[in-house]
A and B are shown apart, each in its own frame.
Chain A
């Protein structure tokens, strides 16, 4: 079983995630943007639109204006989760020596900082997730619109994070960066995982990895699609406003001459 989870499943889960995402993105791309449904006030340049969308993606701008409490919980949750993902790359890839490599600290301090950041973010993200779960159950409106899967996604993340935190806090359940790096290297080079490798003997690590892989596999078939979905949809309603709107069917037929009616380019004399 452990062998299956560590040796076979990773290839399956990565394949399902990739193919699933491509399938979803392909479906979206095949749908057209039929009408100009830009939300106004809209930027008038590409740069403006990119800045707007970036502010939404990084700062959750719309949500901040709409619901401060939800914003606090979800922003903290998403940002710490993002930091943790980055931390995994750094920790496993660079063995926690990233701060040392860029010349900020000594090697020991770098590893210490890396551990400290990982541990604290693990707690923060857990708190964020618990808040979101509480909110889903406590606020009547949110409860009314929730499907079972909405709770499951949260519980799944909580389980993954809890397994991760256990590895941080209980030394004998934890695992160091190095053996994991070796394991990842084995996977990337398609070489066989051997029974004496440390990863094979760390049940919490195996559970952590299993849950992550399950998540990866159902991601393209769940509301977690909001990650790419956000960019895809914002690109429809937060695009730069220009007339005639580029890419609309038939717009070149009816659209020329319409460009004087733009929000800020309004009006003119009788021609």
Chain B
């Protein structure tokens, strides 16, 4: 990494071995530019949204003050229009008449290896939260430029080690953490005991059982967020439905959306459908994961290679539906601590879930405080698109990206007594907010929404 010496911050790249595990060749440095141009042309021609984003931006700068990465770092390249410009400049230079003849005038430039390194740095500083798209007068989706940029870099073998190893783990075990079946079963048994200890109810978490409902948990729930998994188990148990999880797809996320929207995205989508068909599933219920649900809801239908035709719903929608039907007796009085809600970007701006989140929240807790701005205008947690890097430089950036979030949480006042709950119904948000809460010294505990549903459904008795 020669350029980090010039101040360019980059996450650790996947090495040759890591790349081979996700079936990517290594492109030597002296061929990268040539290969990149070939791919860029294809990307521009394929995605209308990308071409429009390249050709219609007027550089009004309305996005600058609305991007938390820019607000947190004041780095000019973190202005969404400028970040997209890294790619736009090159695209215009080679693929538009104005860029071919007047590059200097319109700010187009030749592609150099250095630019690719810069793209690698800044496209992995973008959270793909799409707040810039919301505020853009033309609705230009800078996220599309980031996604295309990451796709391009992936094809050049420039992928963060984190994303590449997640891709490899997914292909091998069917989840991002590399959880083999034995560990899944063992963890489920442990959680069953845990539920028994906590509320004295015998609740099973079936694995690989032919059933009506396939629950797709986030694999992070098997590492860091056990209450989200037990919350879902309590919900299904309460309804008395015949449900299961599959050891082949203990993963609600889909990193394909974040670095490779072709092979990886498709393979992960197919995996869900394959498992559902194998277990005779009638309905797939998706767990708490923002980008994963965006992939499952918005991308999956167009990615399948053969008929799926199995309804796919999100667990939040399910809970809201049964609350409305009166089938769930929740005890909001059992959670009296002040709770505020972080709307995950992918739920708010990509999956239309804001109303649902509030329906579930209001039924589950008694002291809910909104943060401002909220719903689709909410700011990202700073970890979006899984830039959960932990080498010191990138970690420092993550914490800066979450400055706006910390400010929002503080303004709600829920952290005053150190008793607050910051509800973040998304695994990436949780993984980002755990350290963020420590670093910004907020008196809140980070929890998922289904955690709260579980607690409210089966209150823990205090003697």
Cβ of A263 and Cβ of B313 under 8 Å apart? no
Q: Mark B339-350, 1 if CB is under 8 A from A, else 0.
A: 000000000111
Interface size class of A (residues with CB under 8 A): 35 or more
Q: Map CB proximity to A onto B95-139 as digits: 1 under 8 Å, 0 otherwise.
A: 011100010111100000000000000000000001001111111
A39 in complex: contacting residue of B64, B81, B139, CB < 8 Å:
B139
- Contact indicator A34/B302 (Cβ below 8 Å): yes
Asked whether B313 lies within 8 Å of A254 as measured between CB atoms, the reply is no
Contact A258:B64 (CB < 8 A) given known A226-B58, A237-B141: no
Set of chain A residues within 8 Å of B349, measured between Cβ atoms:
39-40
Residue of B61, B261, B303, B320 with most chain A CB atoms under a 10 A cut-off: B61
A49 to chain B, nearest CB (A): 12
Q: Which residue of A lies closest to B314 (CB)?
A: A261
Which B320-337 residues sit within 8 Å CB-CB of chain A?
320-322
Tell yes or no: A145 within 8 A of B by CB: yes
Interface of B is mostly: helix
Interface size on B, residues (CB 8 A): 89
B57 on interface, CB distance cutoff 8 Å:
yes
Selected from B301, B305, B308, B318, the residue in CB contact (under 8 A) with A266 is B318
Q: Is A178 an interface residue (CB 8 A)?
A: no
A141 touches B58 (CB 8 A): no
Instruction: Check if B460 is an interface residue, CB within 8 A of chain A.
Output: no
- Please report the C-alpha to C-alpha distance between residue A142 and residue B102 in the assembled complex, in whole angstroms: 22
A145 and B81: CB pair below 8 A? Answer: yes
Please measure, in the bound complex, the distance between the C-alpha atom of A60 and the C-alpha atom of B53, giving whole angstroms: 18
Q: Would you call A270 and B306 a contact (CB within 8 A)?
A: no
Interface set, chain A 5-62, CB cutoff 8 A to B = 24, 27-42, 56, 60, 62
Which of A91-99, A103-111, A156-164, A228-236 makes up part of the contact surface?
A: A228-236
A191 on the interface (CB 8 Å rule)?
Answer: no
Q: List the B residue with the shortest CB-CB distance to A132.
A: B60
Give the CA-CA distance A139 to B65 in the complex, in Å.
11
In the bound complex, how far is the Cα of B144 from the Cα of A236, in angstroms?
Answer: 12
Residue of B nearest to A237 (CB): B139
Bound together, the chains give a CA A119 to CA B435 distance in angstroms of 61
A149 CB within 8 Å of chain B? yes
What string of 1s and 0s marks CB contacts (under 8 Å) between B155-186 and chain A? 00000000000000000000000000000000
Residue of B nearest to A265 (CB): B317
Task: Give every chain B residue within 8 A of A263 (Cβ-Cβ).
Answer: 351-353, 355-356
Compute how far the CA of A87 lies from the CA of B242 in the bound complex, rounded to whole angstroms: 70
276-314 of chain B: CB within 8 A of chain A: 282-283, 297-314
Determine the chain A residues whose CB is within 8 A of the CB of B85 once the complex forms: 145
Give the complex CA separation of A271 and B242 in angstroms: 12
Task: Judge whether B372 is part of the interface by a CB distance below 8 angstroms.
Answer: no
Residue A214 CB within 8 A of the other chain: no
> Does B51 sit at the interface, judged by CB under 8 A?
yes
Say if the beta carbon of B52 comes within 8 Å of chain A: yes
In the complex with contacts A30-B45, A145-B85, A221-B302 CB distance below 8 A: no
User: Is A266 touching B320 in the complex (CB atoms < 8 A)?
Assistant: yes
On whether A66 and B135 interact (CB within 8 A), knowing A33-B48, A258-B312, A266-B356, the answer reads: yes
> Is there an interface contact between B138 and A266, defined as CB atoms closer than 8 Å?
no
B51 touches A27 (CB 8 A): yes
* Residues B82 and A144 in contact, CB atoms below 8 Å apart: yes
CA distance A42 to B312 in the complex (A): 20
Cβ-based interface call for A150 (8 A):
yes
| Cβ of A245 under 8 Å from chain B | yes
Say whether B52 contacts A258, CB under 8 Å. no
Q: Roughly how many angstroms separate A125 CA and B348 CA in the complex, as a whole number?
A: 38
Cα A112 to Cα B53 in complex, Å, equals: 44
Are B48 and A250 in touch, CB under 8 angstroms?
Answer: no
State whether B141 touches A37 (Cβ < 8 A): yes
- Determine how close the nearest CB of chain A comes to the CB of B122; give it in whole angstroms: 13
Contact A141/B61 with A261-B311, A267-B318 known, Cβ cut-off 8 Å: yes
Instruction: Report A208-240 residues with CB < 8 Å from chain B CB.
Output: 218, 221-223, 225-226, 229-230, 232-234, 236-238
Complex-state Cα separation, A270 to B244, whole angstroms: 13
Q: In the complex, are the beta carbons of B52 and A28 less than 8 A apart? A: yes
Contact, CB under 8 Å: B59 / A145 = yes
A2 contacts B by Cβ under 8 Å: no
**Bound-complex Cα distance A268 to B241 (A):** 13
The complex places the Cα of A189 from the Cα of B314 at a distance, in Å, of 64
7 tightest A-B CB contacts, nearest first? A229-B56, A254-B304, A147-B107, A266-B317, A263-B352, A267-B321, A31-B48
Given contacts A141-B64, A266-B314, 4 further A-B contacts (CB under 8 A): A63-B135, A229-B138, A266-B356, A271-B282
Residues of A within 8 A of B (CB): 24, 27-42, 56, 60, 62-63, 65-67, 70, 74, 139, 141-142, 144-150, 152, 218, 221-223, 225-226, 229-230, 232-234, 236-238, 241, 243-245, 248-251, 253-261, 263-264, 266-268, 270-271
Q: Give 26 CB contacts A-B under 8 Å.
A: A32-B48, A38-B298, A39-B134, A65-B377, A66-B135, A67-B62, A70-B60, A142-B59, A147-B59, A149-B106, A222-B106, A223-B55, A226-B57, A237-B133, A238-B139, A244-B301, A250-B301, A253-B306, A253-B307, A254-B306, A254-B308, A257-B309, A263-B353, A267-B313, A268-B311, A271-B282
